[in-house]
Amino acid sequence: ASTLGAAAAQSGRYFGTAIASGKLGDSQYTTIANREFNMVTAENEMKIDATEPNRGQFNFSAGDRVYNWAVQNGKRVRGHTLAWYSQQPGWMQSLSGSSLRQAMIDHINGVMSHYKGKIAYWDVVNEAFADGNSGGRRDSNLQRTGNDWIEVAFRTARNADPAAKLCYNDYNIDNWSWAKTQGVYNMVKDFKQRGVPIDCVGLQSHFNSNSPYNSNYRTTISSFAALGVDVAITELDIQGGSAQTYASVVNDCLAVARCVGITVWGVRDSDSWLGANTSPLLFDGNGNKKAAYTSVLNAL
């Protein structure tokens, strides 16, 4: 195969990218994105501040631009994200307790009903666990509504769109030896045991010098999969852009049947949230394929 999407499809997987609605007028960007990728995540446009800027008033204009571009070009869409401590609109930041809990439920219902039947995977809850050695929850306004907020979010999501696969998504849960990874693993295990509806775990996989790729990544992927969930690599970028590390990530996903696909967090280095100077993606700022691109294509 000669593109990332077609190469991933040889093993029944997808290869995706984050898409920013503001760049859909850049023909170099859309040409590469359309050619190479067959799954799309809106980089910001389906987040809480974008979709419900005022309480009870939903706005899907930017989210729909990304969604429509993807579907009109034959791609599937990952929804990102419904319940998160970050990128909350001001009105939500100032809520707490039962009114925040209800606002979270209403938000999930509002967004998921708009996209009902259209989203392959939803990141229902994003980044709910703490960094460091606790293995516990991150403090946030949502967490302070009660420890059951995550399972309430998943149960709400299942009812809102039974066709979507429901994911828990986080960063720094790539290294199997880290407490945060174990904390998420134990939550997913508990959810599966108690019948809380969860279908997938998203490993964001933002690799850098503080959280580098580790060869136990394959153990992380296979361990989550063994709980009976799909695993997706959802926001891959590698600071420095090592071709060898990119190949290792691909090989680790391919080694696990339930690793369903890989999404990189942007098209060209110049599109990266990290800044082009860190060279984290598969195309350079001129749209040329990098060594990491060839390495990924050959590994798929």
Does 60 contact ligand XIL by CB under 6 A? no
State the nearest-atom distance from the C-beta of 18 to ligand XIL, in Å. 6
* Active-site pick, 43, 45, 151, 235: 235
CA pair distance 45, 3, nearest whole angstrom? 26
User: Site for ligand XIL (CB under 6 A): how many residues?
Assistant: 7
Does 45 contact ligand XIL by CB under 6 A? no
User: Is 119 in a helix, a strand, or coil?
Assistant: coil
Does 17 contact ligand XIL by CB under 6 A? no
Nearer to ligand XIL, 44 or 109 (CB): 44
Establish how many alpha carbons lie within 13 A of residue 267's alpha carbon, considering only the half-sphere containing its beta carbon.
25
Residue 13: partners with Cβ closer than 8 Å, 6 or more residues away = 253, 254, 259, 260, 261, 262, 300
Main-chain dihedrals φ then ψ at residue 214, nearest 5 degrees: -125, 145
Does 85 contact ligand XIL by CB under 6 A? no
CA pair distance 123, 5, nearest whole angstrom? 21
Binding mask 87-126 for ligand XIL (x = CB under 6 A): ---------------------------------------x
The size of the chain, in residues, is 300
* 243 and 294 Cβ atoms separated by less than 8 Å: yes
* 85 and 142 Cβ atoms separated by less than 8 Å: yes
Does 294 contact ligand XIL by CB under 6 A? no
Does 204 contact ligand XIL by CB under 6 A? yes
Q: Which residue's CB comes closest to ligand XIL?
A: 273
State the nearest-atom distance from the C-beta of 10 to ligand XIL, in Å. 28
Residue 235 is a catalytic residue: yes
Does 273 contact ligand XIL by CB under 6 A? yes
Give residue 143's identity as a one-letter amino acid code: Q
If you ran DSSP here, which 8-state letter would residue 284 be given?
-
Does 235 contact ligand XIL by CB under 6 A? yes
Does 239 contact ligand XIL by CB under 6 A? no
By CB under 6 A, what part of segment 168-187 binds ligand XIL? 171
Find where tokens 């997706």 sit: 232
Residue 177: partners with Cβ closer than 8 Å, 6 or more residues away = 214, 216
State the nearest-atom distance from the C-beta of 298 to ligand XIL, in Å. 27
Does 44 contact ligand XIL by CB under 6 A? yes
State the nearest-atom distance from the C-beta of 167 to ligand XIL, in Å. 11
Does 43 contact ligand XIL by CB under 6 A? yes
Q: Residue 164: left if φ>0, alpha if ψ -120 to 50, beta else—which one?
A: beta
Give residue 72's identity as a one-letter amino acid code: Q
Q: Could you give the residue numbers annotated as active site? A: 235
| Interaction site with ligand XIL (CB under 6 A) | 43-44, 126, 171, 204, 235, 273
